[in-house]
Chains A and B, each alone.
Chain A
Amino acid sequence: MQTALSIAMDALAYGMALFIICIGLSLTMGLMRVVNLAHGAFAMIGGYIASWAARDLGLGYGFAILLAMLGTVLIAIPLERLLYRRIYDRSELSQVLMTIGITFCVIGITNYFFGPTLKTIPLPAELARSVDLGFRGIAGHRLFVIASGLVVAGGLWFLIERTGFGIHLRAAVENAPMARALGVRTEIIYAASFALAIGLAAFGGVVGAEFLPIEPYYALRYMVTFLVVVSVGGAGSIPGALAACLLLGAIDVTGRYLVPDFGNFFFYLAVILVVCIFPRGLMGRAQ
């Protein structure tokens, strides 16, 4: 029973960390129709910045997260203007190739500047200690990740469904020329949602660093995981991404606890089954 509970808590926290990173990718893929395989690279940049801020500048955890998000968005904006904007209406193959190229460049350049070692982000004392939930203790960091995931999910849902920006965004996705004709500045909407997606990637990279350690090949190692999660959830759907992250996170964590020598076997088996049964993802929309 104790084991089952601790597996469940770990799975929930891991799934939420995946969700924070992947929801940004789900937005770019579902709303802007860009297969951004470099999403993990932005999470990695966020992790590197946070690690640098916390360890070399001595900033607190919260400031490190803020700096990571801002810095990553600042790096991403010129990339959006110079590179991404040219592949918005190109084929999936072109998008995959260009974003794999960006990933490779990010890995090469990051390692040139920071060296090929694993980067840690020191946790503050409040998050490092265990919190008593009454029936059992749980690491404060896990709780923090779960809470952040819920806040991100709720905040995004509110932003997209209930605000003026969300209405413009949905209009631009549904029918860009018509939205433009009605006076919606689609380029600004796209740029803002791209920045939002990248900021979330950086945030997820930092808070998820306990599960997905920040290291030189981070962007490549988890590229497939992120892509798979989004495609299983159905690109562009927040509940779909949440369901996919929790389901695949649970399968992955449980598999690693109970049958560690199978590695990712059950994860990918589940992916194949889900995609075969739901070719558009769990909650994907018909295109």
Chain B
Amino acid sequence: MTGATLPHDTAPRLRTLGQDLLGLALIALAGLAGYALFPDNLAFLTRVVSVALLVLSLDLIVGYCGIASLGQGALYGTGAYAAGIACLHGVTEPFLLILIGAAAGAVMGLLMGAVMLRAHGLPQLVLSIAIVQLLHEAANKASSITGGSDGLSGMVPAPLFGVFEFDLWGRSAYFFGLALLILVFAALRFIVRSPFGMVCRGLKEDPLRISALGIRAFPVLLKMFAISGAVAGMGGALAAIATQVVGLDSVSFEISANALVMLVLGGIGHLYGALIGTVIFMALEHVVAAINPFHWMTLVGAVLIAIVLFAPRGLSGTLDEAARLLTRSRWRAGR
């Protein structure tokens, strides 16, 4: 919150705009590189994109509002189930399905925020866990709507633009997901730099000062929960469209905890970390868990301990710091 955000100070704004365009270009490039390098693993890559949306949404809450949550899967799963159920009931247009997922996620985000914001600290964390577990049990119980433990299957989304089918190769699903990710990322960069995003960060840094400025925390944070829910819901809807299956695991404690691990691995509070953490975590999981799932758990555990002890700002934060030490430039300080 320095001069970089004042409206008259245009040069830094242009610079951040340039940075964002560069970042978006890099994401697109990485996505295309993934396509070129692993054309046979597009289903996995699409899953990475979908989880990246989940982790981005978690960053909005953890990184920008300072609220620890182990229940983000509630929002992701709500989006996935909403899109899946809508698809089974004849709404097959993919763009519409994504919107339905986003709307359902946003509504669930509002509910979740309204409950979670009643508490602070540890009880808040416990509430987030309880909410995701409650939804998990509810989805399991309501098997006539959700398919219960068998999952929801058999949805057939209509071809993209009426031309590109969501087939076994997953090419259209991947590019659809990648485009969605880039759009969402651009929108989120805009949101977190807006005055609203700044207030959220202020609430994280110094809630007392923000309230002294006459701003009530609850509506601001609730709005961020709704945005986060919409993003997570889009991720869930994308997974539903791409895999054409929605399972109970999409609304589980495990996926919520993994999302938090990915976010912390990448670094919280600047969106890029969410993407980096997701890609590294899921790639490692893909390789190591296939060899031995227990080795994978030991590895994740060791990495978590190492991050807390040696790199509390995550990989991107540590890289950032190293780069700053190397170049001695100060222009990033205002970000």
Contacts and interface: CB of A to CB of B under 8 A. Distances in A.
Interface of A: 29, 35, 83, 86-87, 90, 92-94, 96-98, 100-109, 111-112, 116, 216, 224, 227-228, 231-232, 235, 261-265, 268-269, 271-272, 275-276, 279-281
18 contacts: A29-B122, A83-B309, A96-B125, A97-B261, A104-B297, A104-B298, A105-B297, A227-B125, A228-B129, A232-B126, A262-B141, A265-B141, A271-B126, A272-B130, A275-B119, A275-B126, A279-B118, A281-B123
Residue with the highest number of chain B CB atoms closer than 10 Å, among A101, A224, A262: A101
A233 to B, nearest CB: 11
Contact of A108 (B122, B125, B134, B301): B301
A223 to B, nearest CB: 9
Interface of B: 62, 68, 70, 115, 118-123, 125-127, 129-131, 133-134, 137-138, 140-141, 253, 257, 260-261, 264, 294-305, 307-309, 312
A231 B123 contact: yes
A111 B257 CA distance: 21
A104 B125 contact: no
A159 to B, nearest CB: 24
A265 B133 CA distance: 8
B263 to A, nearest CB: 10
B134 A102 contact: no
B301 A101 contact: yes
Given A108-B295, A265-B137, A269-B134, A101 B129 contact: no
B308 A98 contact: yes
A279 B123 contact: yes
Contacts of A87: 308
Given A96-B68, A101-B302, A263-B140, A111 B130 contact: no
A227 to B, nearest CB: 6
Contacts of A106: 301
Contacts of B133: 224, 264, 268
Contact of A261 (B68, B141, B305): B141
Contact of A102 (B260, B296, B305): B305
Contacts of A104: 297-298, 300-301, 304
Contacts of A279: 118-120, 123
A120 to B, nearest CB: 21
B130 A275 contact: yes
B217 to A, nearest CB: 15
A216 B294 CA distance: 10
Contact of B137 (A103, A263, A276, A281): A263
B297 A276 contact: no
B257 A100 contact: yes
Given A107-B294, A263-B140, A268-B134, A92 B301 contact: no
Where chain A touches its partner, the secondary structure class is helix
B292 to A, nearest CB: 9
B126 A227 contact: yes
B304 to A, nearest CB: 3
Contacts, number: 130
Given A98-B305, A104-B300, A104-B301, A275 B123 contact: yes
A272 B127 contact: yes
A29 B296 CA distance: 29
A275 B299 CA distance: 34
B287 to A, nearest CB: 16
Contacts of B253: 224
Contact of B62 (A93, A98, A231): A93
Residue with the highest number of chain A CB atoms closer than 10 Å, among B126, B261, B264: B126
A96 B71 CA distance: 14
Contacts of A101: 300-305, 308
Contacts of B297: 104-105, 107-108
Given A97-B260, A105-B297, A281-B123, 14 more contacts: A29-B122, A83-B305, A92-B121, A101-B308, A104-B300, A105-B302, A227-B129, A231-B122, A231-B125, A232-B126, A271-B127, A271-B130, A275-B123, A276-B115
B129 A224 contact: yes
A92 to B, nearest CB: 6
Contacts of A111: 294
A263 B294 CA distance: 27
A100 B300 CA distance: 9
Contacts of A35: 122, 125
Given A86-B309, A272-B134, A93 B126 contact: no
Given A224-B129, A228-B130, A235 B308 contact: no
Nearest to B68: A93
Given A96-B125, A276-B118, A264 B137 contact: yes
A180 B40 CA distance: 63
Nearest to B132: A268
A231 B122 CA distance: 7
B125 A275 contact: no
A248 B301 CA distance: 30
Given A92-B121, A224-B253, A265 B298 contact: no
A92 B118 contact: no
Contacts of B131: 268, 272
